[in-house]
Amino acid sequence: MCCRYAVNEAVIARYPSIRCSGDVRPSDAAPAIVADGVTDLSWGFEREGKQLVINARSETAFEKPMFREAMELRRCALPAAWFYEWDARKRRNVFRPADGGILLLAGLYSEAGRFVILTTVADNVMRPVHDRMPLCLPEASLQNWLADAVAAREMLEMPGVALIREKPMEQGTLF
């Protein structure tokens, strides 16, 4: 699951056409890397009268009617410094790339200019907090992800980038 991530100066330095920074939440506009450059897309596929769909399971995205066409034709990557996930005690955990670089969260976008983040089964770092996590692309795979549907299908089965978790601090009391 992914419901918030951050763009910071390191992301902007890597992708200079990005002009915004800060936390990205569902329904926000955010920078996305697509086959022909960087563009702003809004987070969440809309369904009439229902909540936004913000994530798609990577295991079923090629089969689900809502995502099938985007999986074939409109893949994107969302550059991020880190993403957040809340644990069972409602504490925010921060996940960053272990190599100190930036994350490229695999996504899909619609003709209406909206995106979802693909999720996968949690790895050992994420599992204590949640059973799902964003599919994080290695930077070397970015062009294949964007331009080659066959390669993209294979990437869904590959392990993502290594992450580290910043454990949440316990809140103290004054008394």
How would residue 48 be classed by pLDDT, with cut points 50, 70 and 90?
Answer: confident
**Mean pLDDT to the nearest integer, 137-154:** 95
Distances (CA, A) of 28 to 2, 17, 34, 40, 145: 14, 18, 17, 10, 23
- pLDDT tens readout for residues 83-99: 999 988 889 999 999 99
Q: Which CATH number fits domain 5-166: 3.50.50.60, 3.90.1680.10, 3.30.1490.270, 3.40.50.300?
A: 3.90.1680.10
**Mean pLDDT to the nearest integer, 66-77:** 97
Domain boundaries, the chain: 5-166
Please tell me the least confidently modeled range out of 16-20, 75-79, 102-106, 112-116.
16-20
